[in-house]
Structure 1
Amino acid sequence: MHKIVVLCLVFLSMEAWGQKKYPITRFGAKAGMTFDNARAIQAAIDSATITGGAVIIPNGTFMTSTIYLKSNVTLQLDTEAILLGSRDRMAYAQTGPLALIVCKDQKNVKITGGGMINGQGRELVENTIRCLREGKLQDDEWLKKRPSEKNRPNLLYFENCTAVCIKGITLKDAASWVQLYKECTGVEVSKINVESNAYWNNDGIDIVDSKDVVIKESVFNSADDAICLKSENPALKCENVTVKNCVLRSSANGFKLGTGSFGGFKNIVVDSITVYDTYRSAIALEAVDGGAIEQVAVTNVRAYNTGNALFIRLGKRNRDGQYSTVNNILIEKLTAEIPATKPDIGYPQEGPLPKVPIHYLLPAVIAGIPGHTITNVQLKEIEIKYAGGYVKGDLSPVPENEAGYPEFTMFGDLPAWGLYVRHAAGIQVKDCKVTVQAADFRPALLFEDVKDLQLQRTRIPEKEVINASHAEAISISY
């Protein structure tokens, strides 16, 4: 009888523990920067997925190579826990997704807590280069520019997952994109802190062909686009995505749709974000691969010390007969301050200088291509302040550059300092104001090949002009 009671108590204790918490130290994990804990952490995950439970990374530093997160498992990092990515490139997976934490075809997964995941990106890239020189890895790009993204691990990689939650953690120094969510449904990213400018292509977060996504109350400081939505599959799109109450800094763009735009983007909401010290655009909406951008609302944006406030582009770099479309865009309550100096000077990875010399500050841009217009864009309650101060100079005709990489410098100098719109229809500019600290010889606003243009209570400096050529159905009210 005594033995039966003891066995029952042991069984109940193990069951209660197994359903709830799986500390990695019980599976042989050791703190420190030299012991690879991948096997121990994976054993904890494999056990937790059977009944559902939390794998605990306790306070301390635990180094690991690739681990695989599975269904019904929460990876919980205690407040002072650091999960440290291995510096050894050969310790990561040689096939399949390349990341520190991989989660593919799973559901109900979480990474939570107050701890940090640090990819040691600089050191990992240095080791990657050594491996390339020794012939352990192959890469067609690295001698021309740098090791390609296929050889640099992400921190987090989620693909075809359902019900994903990332909350409260810090993500630091990836060797490539920080976190990727590809073809996932039901993703919530909240209250995280991203500090990743260790190397190139350090996007803060990439959402690829995923739907029902919320990114909120988070801070992103990244060497590449801070928040980037992409569409890589012509049959899919990013849909029902909300970004709210976030702070963004980037040596590229703050919030961006594209550049990958094969399928498209629909029902995208951006609300209450701050963008600062950002080299390119605070807001960039770009469709250049045959996909569609439709039903996008961007409201309550504060941008300061950024190279460009707004860039909306319809281009064609895809070689088939499909053309992109951009339709039904609302930009409301945006304020921006555009300096004369390079906004990201002094950061570890600065944005590259434009391929063509830029002599003048560039305006907000809405640009389609001949025969394929951007349609139904509303700009409401916009205020952009420019440093200005440029005397009269020579301006070349603006190239179409249909297949060019989309960014606000792609046309070179532009013939307006406040807002430039070309190949567009159904443009409404209401309660908007642009100013310069010192005079600029170009007109404040310029519209080329624009139909159904409405300007309502639009304020420009006294004696400035609005230039419209080849424009039809223009309505101006003050």
Structure 2
Amino acid sequence: MMTRREMGLGLATAASAALLPFPAHAALRISVRDHGAKGDGKALDTDAVNAAIAAASKAGGGTVLFPAGRYLCFTIRLKSDITLMFEKGAVIEAADPARHPGKYDLPEEEIDQLYQDYGHSYWRNSLIWGDGVENVAIVGPGLIHGVGLTRNGPGARWKAQTGERPLSMKDLPANAIGHLEPAAAAMRGQGNKAIALKNGRNVRLSGFSMLKCGHFAILATGTQALTITDLAIDTDRDGIDLDCTKGVLVERCRVNTCNDDAIVVKASYALGKAIPAEDIVIRHCAVSGYDLGTMLDGTRGTTQEFAPDRDRPTGRIKLGTESNGGYRNVLVEDCTFDHCRGFALETVDGGVLENVVARRLTMRDVTTAPIFLRIGDRRRGPAGTGVGAIRNVLIEDVEAIGIDHRYAASIAGLPGHPVEQVTLRNIRLTYDGGGTAADAALVPPEVATAYPEPSMFGTLPAWGLWIRHAKDITIDGLTLATAKPDARPPFGIEDAPGLKVTRTPLWRG
């Protein structure tokens, strides 16, 4: 007959198996406390945590449990066939090299950081990293608190240096740039990501919260079959970055990032070749640009006026900016945007953006343009990198209110490289209004090589929808309004052959 303790352990194991993304991991459960972790927020628990992971891996895989407590750690190294389970009340705190005796793993030596910035180029200088891991999960209602991580890192070592920073930063003094982008030598021993994944497969992240997590809360590069669900992320730079990934689902996540993008799909050159980001679904997510920490605490502060690029708070869902490999087969649906920039589709480094659907998006207090499509000619890539393309995009059932009057919804290609085959259907946009007759006379510059942002053209000469260098655009059901009068026309159209407009009350084409 089983004892009560054995029965309890059996029930706990069965319950864990039901909750785990990989039920087989429930067969072995190892607590980090069994390997000496204190969980008191004072002692460094890095060695104990890594010892627990190594023991589970040596046994063929299993679950590494973090009971309630505060675990102060430098780098935690993931291994295949491991689940990290955070119990309620468990906090993994990123140690600070300036205050604690230790450092984060050094960045990889073999990476040629030419065509993407420092943060995209390395993975090991993180709180938690895995390279080539498979069947891995991080789950549970705990918190990753990146207290000791830095949001900073050098820019790309690209000779041309064209389009490295938004035009809104052009007057930023050198010392301010230096603070945001220190030399690579200063980054050694620093950690600038909470979770970094490279070339893995079958990874599940679910149920936990993240606060103040450096350059990236989550960076997934070249990762396939990745599922991210039910996370709450409130951080000081990027939230979730999906770079050169394939087969990804991001669902029911709340991501607050006032200083950078919330959920972003990229196709950089970080793996040494152009790889597309493809087969990605982002749905039932909420993105925002509230003051740091105020999404998690529920206060939703709006005191921060500008992001570091000197535009208003960021947040948003975006494809870009790194776009060497392009993007295809991306679905964004049933998402909300609050106090942040709008939905952006960008290719500036030669990649093709195609087969993208965005539907049922709700936006409130939009800090730049609600919709922004841009082909640019930055070409940050090896010799032979060309100009990319945007084609076959459907954006439908979008409602946005409280939009900054300066930046209309925009579709902007280049001469000879038009944005093609885009449909806007059932779109309702309400702007703040207030544009002047002088604004209506403005002629936006081409700025072909500039970093893509809605503010790159300055205040636009139309307040509702601005299209330039586009082909075969269909507008079916676009309703525009302003909260106060605006002296500009609602539409600005230039070089847009094949434009079709139906069910659009203000259209006078």
Scaled to the shorter chain, the TM-score interval is 0.7 to 0.9
Letter in 2 for 1:449: D
1:444 aligned residue = 490
Residue pairs, 1:257-406, within 5 angstroms: 257-278=319-340, 280=341, 282-307=342-367, 308-318=369-379, 320=384, 322-340=386-404, 361-394=406-439, 395-406=441-452
SS at match of 2:393: strand
| TM-score, L = length of structure 2 | 0.77
CA distance in 2, matches of 1:143, 1:265: 30
Match of 2:70 among 43, 61, 70: 61
1:435 aligns with 2:503: no
Residues 1:146 and 2:180 aligned together:
yes
Which residue identity does 1:109 align to in structure 2? Answer: V
State the Cα distance separating 1:445 from its structure 2 match.
1.1
Q: CA 1:28–1:416 in 2, change beyond 3 Å: closer, same or farther?
A: same
Structure 1 stretches lacking a partner, 5+ long: 1-8, 129-139, 341-359, 468-478
Normalising by the residue count of structure 1, what TM-score does the alignment of the two structures yield?
0.82
1:245-298 deviation line (CA, Å, top 9, x unaligned): 0000133241000000001100000010000011x3x10000000001000000
- Contact in 2 for aligned 1:369/1:423 (Cα 8 Å): yes
Aligned residue for 2:397, secondary structure, equals strand
Give 1:87 deviation, angstroms.
1.4
Q: Does 1:116 align with 2:176?
A: no
2:234 equivalent to 1:203: no
In the alignment, is the contact (CA less than 8 A) between 2:41 and 2:71 conserved in 1?
yes
Letter aligned with residue 144 of structure 1? G
Partner Cα separation in structure 2 for residue 127 and residue 260 of structure 1: 18
**Amino acid in the other structure paired with 1:401:** V
User: What secondary structure sits across from 1:406 in the alignment?
Assistant: coil
Q: 1:436 and 1:18, CA in 2 relative to 1: closer, same or farther beyond 3 A? A: closer
2:216 alignment partner, one of 177, 180, 187: 177
1:207-246 equivalence runs, <5 A: 207-222=242-257, 223-233=259-269, 234-246=273-285
Give the C-alpha shift of residue 447 in structure 1: 1.0
| AA of the residue aligned to 1:211 | K
Residue identity opposite 2:217 in structure 1: V
Taking a change above 3 Å as real, the CA distance of residues 361 and 143 of structure 1, as seen in their structure-2 partners, is closer
CA-CA distance at 1:437 after TM superposition: 1.8
Name the structure 1 match of 2:82: 73
Aligned partner of 2:201 among 162, 172, 184: 162
Which amino acid in structure 2 is aligned with residue 226 of structure 1?
Answer: A
Of 15, 21, 31, 1:23 maps to 31
Cα distance change of structure 1 residues 141 and 29 upon mapping to structure 2, 3 Å threshold: farther
CA-CA distance at 1:432 after TM superposition = 1.1
**Residues 215, 17 of structure 1: CA spacing in aligned structure 2 closer, same or farther, 3 A cutoff?**
closer
Work out which of the residue numbers 447, 457, 465 in structure 2 matches 1:419: 465
* Paired residue secondary structure (2:51): helix
For residues 39 and 263 of structure 1, the distance between their equivalents in structure 2, rounded to whole angstroms, comes to 38
1:223-260 CA distance string (max 9 Å, x none): 31000111113531110000010000133241000000
1:72/1:109 contact within 8 Å kept: yes
CA distance in 2, matches of 1:446, 1:276: 26
Checking the alignment, whether the CA contact within 8 Å between 1:18 and 1:48 is kept in structure 2 is no
Deviation at 1:143, TM superposition (A): 6.9
Query: Alignment partner of 1:302: what SS?
Result: strand
Letter in 2 for 1:272: D
Deviations 1:67-110 (A, max 9, x none): 10100000000011001110126511123321000111110000
Question: Aligned partners of 1:17 and 1:166: how far apart in 2?
Answer: 15
Cα distance in 1 for partners of 2:386, 2:150 equals 38
Per-residue CA deviations over 1:163-211 (Å, capped at 9, x if unaligned) read 00000011111121111000011000000110113xxxx1010000000
Residue aligning to 2:92? 83
Structure 1 residues 334-383: Cα deviation after superposition (integer angstroms, max 9, x where no partner) = 0101345xxxxxxxxxxxxxxxxxxx521000000000010000000000
1:457 and 2:503 are equivalent in the alignment: yes
Match of 2:106 among 94, 108, 111: 94
Conserved 8 A contact 2:152-2:181: no
Contact 1:309 1:338 in 2 (8 A): no
Query: Is residue 25–residue 63 contact of structure 2 (8 Å, CA) maintained in 1?
Result: no
Q: Distance in 1 between matches of 2:504 and 2:104?
A: 55
Pairwise CA distance, 1:323: 1.1
The code of the aligned residue for 1:92 comes to: Y
% identical aligned pairs: 30
Q: Secondary structure at the match of 1:99?
A: coil
Counterpart contact for 2:468–2:496, Cα < 8 Å: yes
CA distance, structure 2, for counterparts of residue 411 and residue 425 of structure 1 = 20
- Alignment coverage as a number of residue pairs: 413
Q: Describe how 1:10-49 pairs up with structure 2 within 5 A.
A: 19-49=27-57
- Alignment deviations for residues 36-88 of structure 1 (CA, whole Å, 9 cap, x no partner): 11111111101111321100010011111101010000000001100111012
1:18 Cα shift? 9.3
Q: 2-side partners of 1:431 and 1:424: how far apart?
A: 19
**What letter matches 2:256 in structure 1?**
N
